Every structure is written in C-alpha cells, then in structure tokens.
Amino acid sequence: MQFYLRLILIWCMMMATSNIQADTSIPAIIPQPQKMKLGSGNFSLTASTRLIVAEKSELTETASYLAKRVFRASGFDLLADKPSDAKGGIIRLSIDSRIKGEEAYTLSVTAEKVDIRAATSAGIFYGIQSLLQLMPPKIFGNSARQDILWNIPFVDISDAPRFGYRGMHLDVGRHFFPVENIKSYIDYLALHKMNRFHWHLTEDQGWRIEIMKYPKLAEVSAWRKETLIGHAGRAKASFKFDGKRYGGYYTQDEVREVVAYAAERHITIIPEIELPGHSLAALAAYPELACTEGPFEVGTYWGVFKDVYCPNEATFTFLQDVLSEVMALFPSKYIHIGGDECPKDRWKESQFCQELIKREGLKDEHELQSWFVRRIEKFLNKNGRKLIGWDEITEGGLSPTATVMFWRGHMTDLPLSVAEGGNNLIMTPTSHCYFDYYQSKRDSEPLAIGGYLPAKKVYEFEPIPTDFPQELIPQISGLQGNVWTEYIPTWKHLQYMVFPRLCAMAEVGWSAKDARDWSDFSSRMNVHFQRLDLLGINYARHMLTAEDDIIRVEHIAKGAGISVTPSPTAKYGSDVNALVDGIQGSAGFLDETWRGFEGFDFSARIDLGSQREIKELSAGFLSDHGSWIFLPTDVRFSVSTDGKRFSDVGSSSYNVMPDTDSRARREYRVSLEPTTARYIHLDIKTLQTCPEWHSGAGGKAWVFIDEITVK
C-alpha cells in the first residue's frame, strides 16, 4: 500500500511541475571561456536567492546590473533582503587580488552558491555575462516568467581574454542613429565581452557631435540636403536622390550620457574626428579651412572627395579647439583621427602647400600628411592622450607613439614594419572585419557596399600574421569589426549586418586560438540565437539553414592544368587553379573564388590532359563599378590539339556603360560545332583605366574572373 501511495505522490508532484520548463543543455557561452569544467547538478535560482556584495563596494553598480536583468526576466529580487536572510542559495561577487589579469575572472557554481571572483570590477562584469549565459535563454526576456526553472549547471570556469583590445566600430556619419540605438549597440558589445566602441562621428556626409565653439557644425555640417538612392557605383550623371533633408547630431549632454552608459558596462568609447580627409561636411560650414574658396556642401553621395582640410593655422586652431571639447567629453586614453583616403589634389594645386612642403623639407604631399598628423598628435600628447589612425598614417613617416589600425589587408608587410618601428597595431582588415560587406550570395540580401564576408570567414580570422616574430606579438593590441553605413539606413538593417558576425568576432578576440572550432561554435550559436530573439535583434539567419552558398559547376576542365599570363594581382589571391575548381563566384569579389587583374590585359591557357570533344566555352566575370571593377571589353576563345597552332572559335564582347551591370556576375560564352581539342586559350581585353564617366576616372580598373568552363 505504501508503494502505491509513493507512486501517487510522485505523480502529483510531476503534474504540479508539468508546466515548468527546465533547460538541461550543455552550456553555450559566447565567447567560449578559456577553461570550463562541467559538473553534475544544478544551482536553482529562486525567489529566495540573494546577491551578496560587500557594502560600499566598487561592485555595487555591477551587482545592480545583474539584479535588474534577473528581476526583469524572473521577477526575483536578488537584493530584497539582507544576505543573512538568504534561504535559496547565494550569488557572491568578490574582488580577489590573487586572480591575475585585469579582465580575468573565475566562476564556480555549486548547489548552495554561485561565486564570481576577479581582481577588478571589469572581470566581475565579464563573469556575470557568462553566468547569464549559463541560465536558460529566457533570462534575456523582458517580462517575468513563472513557468521557468532557473537552473544554473555546476561549473568551474577560469577565464581571461586573449587580446586586450576587442572592439566594434560604428559609422554614424553616413547614417545617423539616435542615442537609444547607440546604447543598444553598447549592450551588444557588453554581452559578448567586447571592451572598445569606436564611434566614427564625422564624415563628408555629416558631422554628428555638437561643438560649442563652432555652432555651425550642428547647424550646417550635420545636415545634407538629400541622399543618394541605390548604389554609388555608376556615372554621377545618372545619380538619383531622394530629395529629403537628412541629418542629426549628438548634443554634448547626450554624449556624456552615452559615455557613462558605456563605462557602466566596462566599455571605453574611442571617438573619431576625421582629418585631413573626409572633411567635406566641416568645410561646408567653415570654407576657410580649405585650400580653395568653395563654396562647399555636405556630401549627398558616397565616395572620396577631393576637398580636404588645408594645413594652415586656421585649420589647426579649429581642430585643436574641436579636439579640446572632444577630450573633455571622452575620458578615453586614445583619440582616433582617421587619416585615411585623403586625396592630395588640392594640396598639389595649392601654392601655400607647395611652399610649406619646401619650407619644412618635406619630400611630397604624403610627407605633408604625416607632418599634419604629427602636429595633431603632439597636441593630443600634450593633453595626455594618444593617437590612433587608419594605416594610411604610416605613409610619409610614422611617429613612434601612434597606434595603427590595419585595414588594408592586402598590404601584408605593413603590420611587421609597424611593429618593428615600435608602434602598436589593431587588426581590422577588410578581408575579415568589414561588416558592411554581403554575408550571403543570395539575391535576397539587402543592398551592401560589395564584397562577401560570411560569419564563418569572420570566425576564421587570425589577428596575428603567420610567422610574426614572437617578441613583437605583444604589439598587436587586438582586433575590431567595422560597420560603415553608406547602405545601412535603418536600425534593423544594421542589426542584420552585425549579427551573427559580431558573435564570431567576439570569440576570435577572447577565446584561445587552438580552442576555436566552427562546428562547436555553430552548436552554441543555436542556443545564442534564442537569446538574440529575446533581445529583439534582427540577425541574419544563414547559419540556421542548410542551404550552401557555394555554387558548384561540373565541366570537363574542372581540375585541369591552367596558366595565366600575366599573373593575377596578388591582393586578392594568386592561385589560378581556382579558375578551374568547379566553384562559381558570387557577386562579391572577396569570396575567394575570384582572381583580380588591376589595369592590364591578360590571357589564360588550359590543358585538358587529352583531346576531348568540345561544344561550349565560357568564363565568368564580375561587374562592381563602386569597387572599380568592370567587365572586360572582349574575350576571345581559341582551341588547339597540340598547344602550338590555335584556331579562333569565337569571341564575346561587351560595351561597358554607366548603369549597366553595375553589380553583377556575367558569363562570356561561345557555342561551337563539336570540335576536338586538348588546349583552350582565352585572350581577355580590359578597360585598364576607369572610364571618364566614373568617379575614379583615370585610376586603374579591375577585372575579376572566376570559373572557366569547358563543355
């Protein structure tokens, strides 16, 4: 009888808890901790659990952060009573000087206690991020749930970041995002243990920060009369605009609010004030800062503009005044001054600049830019700050105290030369870190600037170059993902471009290199996506589908021998076997299937290994005018049985015009009567230089070729 009573009791208990959800999955922490040992059992977070931190502790604010998140999702008030009244176990936050590393922490979970220890409040904060990710994903919800068992698995974690600088950038110059969006962005970084927010505040198309001494920066420079519709990769004469005034700026009070919000989450904001280029918006308000008279207007389309700051005393007074107000708002040790993409045309035409070059003993306009940057750097150093700039600041000479943001990934020798000169590096190459690139080859993707960068390639990023000298590795401070917003006008669109690539970047920056595994990361992301859903983030869902982005092509030349003369420009890959590997390129030249040729004609020859019957020859080429990539003007095909005497079998020609195939893949194809041949030869004629109607007129034009097929 007692046996049946026990069964009835067990059944009643099961029925009483049948609507309670439990999560017993393996921990899915992003980024992956350095060391984690999983035990057997769970700590149960209940209404009786209490959060313990020493009174008047530096952790009070951090403890409040955790308590608010738990209360929002569960309704449990971890700070309701005195710690001695805790009946449902405790969560203890403790400063422990024995833990090595400013951002390191330990996290231990047992049946009675969750214990987070670190040497600093930053380490405690990162421990809290891991603790939240040990809980059921619904901890990131915004309404109290009564149907969840808030179990936390037994673990012992010992964790610390691989790199000290783990950053994300956001361009608000091209498209402006209000304070509430910026705070959300900071929350995204905090969740993933990133500690730097690079706030790109000034651009040709908009100045976004209030400067009290120069009110016209808010009145004039923050607003453009209209915005380009569609892609900028076409003739200017064909540009279409929306006719709507656009802009905005952050007041100094708003900036202080955002800086404080970030500091609470242990994120340092690095402001960027662009100079000497990308300064058209400022010149629209203060034309006296240019080398020509103007007038100027805030940029309405994307690209690089020739009008830049003139290196005269008026300019330096202006910039020092601006930077003084910026430094008063941002406590960051570093101030970013841009330094990229500065055309020298106006300086070459300026009598003042030419006399300055001669007077200062400078070699050319590149050294004049370095002179300009060094003068600003001395001002920053005098005020206790350090300078960061894009890697163009190395041209014409680099001061020993500047930090270089390495973005031009094709300049493979640059990181070593910078480090050998004693300078620090932040690695952010276009190949892996530009989140304005397409992340899928699907036609349904929203408009982007170009390129192809899926989350998997971000995850494969290794910030330390191959064979980098061991003694110089400490000079690589870390890494950063960049989000340029020419083609990102809305917050939902921005979320889509950032996620899940931010998650991959965070793991590269935090986790040990040899512990990174794409399959394991993908498995953890399946849980993490639930968190992103609850946070209302509009992420790209490519990782959740089985669809393969790779387009495979079967043909008789697949795997055949191939030679190309001259060789491809090494910037985007030099292995010509990719042209007969059976994989078709996307509409993004960075997807590793394309081979690029900058400014010259070329030819390709294929050896099939034996004579085969041939009915069709073709080759794929890319058009992306915004990236200076144009279709070839003519592709001529010929065949041979002996490799010596070739017979012409046809050609495919194209007249490159504005607005035609501005971003697309096009097949050049000839059909022929069944013909026996062993060798295939292609002669490719190119524009060599950008046409007059293009914004880069006169510059070297690119041709990109992918699969050459023989059928």
Residue (of 424, 446, 444) closest to 436 by Cα position: 446
Burial of 429 (0-12, 13-18, 19+ CB in 10 A): buried
* 469-473: long-range contacts, CB 8 A cutoff, minimum separation 24: 469/416, 469/419, 472/416, 472/419, 472/420
For 289-346, write each residue's pLDDT tens digit: 999 999 999 999 999 999 999 999 999 999 999 999 999 999 999 999 999 999 999 9
pLDDT attached to residue 659: 61
| Structural domain boundaries in the chain | 19-159, 165-543, 551-710
Task: Enter the tokens of residue 476.
Answer: 């690589």
Q: Tell me how far apart the alpha carbons of residues 225 and 264 are, in angstroms, rounded to a whole number.
A: 37
pLDDT at res. 84: 54
pLDDT in the model for residue 58: 86
- What tokens were used for 484? 């340029």
Distance CA 247, CA 175 (A): 8
Residues in the chain, pLDDT under 70:
1-25, 55-56, 82-86, 545-549, 587, 591, 659-663
> Can you point out the beta strands (E) in 400-475?
403-406, 424-427, 437-438, 450-452
Distances (CA, A) of 520 to 2, 370, 427, 527: 48, 46, 25, 12
Sign of CA dihedral 94, 100, 105, 110: negative
- Structure pTM? 0.85
Fold for the domain defined by 165-543? TIM Barrel (3.20.20)
Domain at 19-159: CATH code: 3.30.379.10
pLDDT at res. 61: 92
CATH class for the region spanning 551-710: mainly beta
pLDDT digits (tens, 9 = 90+) for 354-389: 999 999 999 999 999 999 999 999 999 999 999 999
Place of tokens 């030419």: 354
Angle between helices 491-498 and 179-191 (to 10 degrees): 20
Helical residues (DSSP H) of 543-606, grouped into ranges? none
CB 158 within 8 A of CB 188: no
Distances (CA, A) of 204 to 175, 298, 381, 435: 11, 6, 27, 20
**Amino acid, res. 260:** A
| Buried b / exposed e along 676-698 (16+ C-beta atoms within 10 A) | ebbbbbbbbbbbebbbebbbbee
In terms of Cα–Cα distance, which of 248, 270, 252, 266 is closest to 168?
A: 270
Distances from the Cα of 499 to the Cαs of 118, 505, 528, 665, in angstroms?
29, 10, 11, 26
Tokens of 417: 């030369």
